[in-house]
Every structure is written in structure tokens, then in C-alpha cells.
Amino acid sequence: MRVKILLIVVLTAVCFVTGYFMGIGRGDRQAARERDVYDLDVYPHLLRLAEAGDTNLLESGIRALIVTRYNHYDMHFGSESITDTFFLKNLAYARTVVAQDKSPGPNKSLEPTATAH
């Protein structure tokens, strides 16, 4: 009787552990898919802006990408120590872009600009 109960408990634990790790794998795969879908939505749009020569919208789009990626990185990995000096330089630059984006300067009005047609 005890052997049957022990066997049931062990099998149940194995099922839970297996399900847990399968769920983690699916979550990672779903997150990677969502990131790829987002990138494939944004990057071709930025390339079309560059090809059309619309540097203002291109700069705005790239700034938005930097701000969202920096905020995500800071939220999830901001407390980790970094030894890669190249990445540290880029992270510092991204931090300045985010700081500029948060404080409107003379050319960064919060009001939408009117376009002439």
C-alpha cells in the first residue's frame, strides 16, 4: 500500500516538473516570437522612411526604439553589473537619449506640429 502511494506521489511530482519546464519553454518561444513580430513590423517601416529621405520621422522612430529598449533593459536588468565597455558606452548614450526624450527642449514641443498640404 505504501509503495503505491509513494509511486503515485513520485509520478505526480514528475508530471508537475515536466509541465513546469514545458511551460517555460513555451513562454520563451512566445516571447521570442512577439519580439520578432515587433521587429519585423518596425524595422521595414524605418527603412522605408530612410529610403524616402524623411529624416525627421526616421529619427523619431529610432528614438522611440531606443527609449522602449532602454526602459525594458533598465526594468529587467538594470541592477546587474556590466563589464563590456562597448555596451556601457552605448548604454550611456541610450540613457542620454531617454533623458532628452523625457524633457522637452526648444525643438521638442509636446504639441503636434501642423503640416502644410
Report yes or no on 15 lying in a domain. yes
Q: Per the structure, how many domains does the chain have?
A: 2
Report yes or no on 113 lying in a domain. no
pLDDT at 116: 45
Same domain, 61 and 86: yes
Report yes or no on 99 lying in a domain. yes
In angstroms, rounded to a whole number, what is the distance separating the alpha carbons of residues 47 and 53? 10
How does the average pLDDT of the chain come out, rounded? 77
The single-letter DSSP state of residue 78 is T
Task: Name the residue type at position 54.
Answer: D
Residue 38 belongs to domain spanning: 1-53
Report yes or no on 114 lying in a domain. no
Report yes or no on 77 lying in a domain. yes
In angstroms, rounded to a whole number, what is the distance separating the alpha carbons of residues 71 and 87? 15
The highest-confidence range among 18-32, 35-49, 64-78, by mean pLDDT, is 64-78
Half-sphere exposure of residue 60: CA atoms within 13 angstroms, side-chain side: 9
In angstroms, rounded to a whole number, what is the distance separating the alpha carbons of residues 117 and 113? 13
Same domain, 45 and 80: no
pLDDT in tens, 38-64: 777 778 888 888 888 888 888 888 888
Region of residue 53 (left: phi > 0; alpha: psi -120 to 50; beta: else): left
When pLDDT is averaged across residues 27-45 and rounded to a whole number, the result is: 79
pLDDT in tens, 91-115: 888 888 888 877 655 555 434 444 4
